[in-house]
Structure formats: C-alpha cells, structure tokens
Amino acid sequence: MSKSIVDVPPGKALRLGLRLPIWLYRWHLGWLLGERFLLLTHIGRNSGMPRQAVIEVVAHDKDMDMYFVVSGWGEKSDWYQNIRKTPSVIVQVAGRKFRSYAEFIPVEKAIRILETYAREHPVAFRELSGLFLGEHMKAGSDASRLLAERMPMVGFRQNQSE
C-alpha cells in the first residue's frame, strides 16, 4: 500500500477546509448536510474548553437512533482524544441537537457497519479507502477490516434521560 493521509498530520490548509462546515452549523444551516455529517461539540482534554468538529456519518441505525462515525486520523484525532477523556458531548445532525455519551464501538461491529457503508456508498468508500489506506478498495475486500482497525468507530445517540 502507498502512503495514506493518516500517516501525516493535516496541514493548515486541510485543517481550515475541514473546519469550514462548522460555520454552516453556526449559521443554522447544518441541516443542509442532512444525516451524512454531524457537528460534535466536545470538551478539550487540556483546555477544558468546548471544541467542535464536523464528522462524516458512516451509518445511522434508525432502530437504536445511533449515529456512527470513524476517526479519520485514528487515535491521533484531537476530537477522538478529547472524547476518550470526556465522553459527554453534544451532537447536531439533520436539524436535531442532543446530548450524548460517546460509545466506543468494538472492531468486529465496526467492520460490519463499514461493510454496509461500502455497499450503500461504493464511490465514497472507494475514495475513503484511498485517502485513509493509500489504496482505492471496493466493498468485499479487506478494506472494511483495515479501516476498522486503523480508524476507531464511535456511536452517538440521545441520552436516555432527555
């Protein structure tokens, strides 16, 4: 496999590009992104201050009303490290806003969710595997396992007490 984007931290330009969708939510236009993206508000592990990240949703289990995301830069992602320390978060997705407690998904379950994502979004999956594994892969390959092992999956659902 060739070098992937995960092997190097994002530069300033990429960081800026990844942060631009946050403004859609600040301007109350986050609903335009539908259920494909969510805004995660979390607490900085060092600063203790609120931080935000927009993350692609790889699956929404409607029965459990849980949204699943992966950490593109693995355990190095700031948002991922922050929720490991403080898993209580606020999620905005598809015009909804709710409190959640991050649930860290076991690799075997993450593989199944990514296999479904690969079937439902073959072009996005091919690009995702190229970006994060350094090789464009198709559904049915080892890509789901490789992605799940490299990029931890987290689930968010509304707290039951709300």
The tokens of 33 are what? 């992104």
The tokens of 43 are what? 């607490």
The rounded distance, in Å, linking the Cα atoms of 80 and 10 is 15
Domains of the chain, earliest start first:
5-157 (2.30.110.10)
pLDDT at 5: 47
Kindly list the averaged pLDDT for each block of 10 residues, start to end, along the chain of length 162: 50 61 82 89 97 94 95 90 98 94 97 92 83 72 86 93 63
- Closest by CA to 58, choosing from 140, 145, 124, 134, is 124
CA distances to 42, 48, 100 from 70, rounded to whole Å, are 15, 23, 16
The answer for residues whose C-beta is within 8 angstroms of residue 11's C-beta and 6 or more apart is none
pLDDT at 48: 97
pLDDT at 4: 46
DSSP E strand boundaries for the chain = 37-43, 50-61, 66-70, 88-93, 96-101, 103-105, 153-157
Q: Angle 37-83-91 (CA atoms, 0-180°, nearest 5)?
A: 35
pLDDT at 69: 97
**What's the predicted TM-score (pTM) here?**
0.84
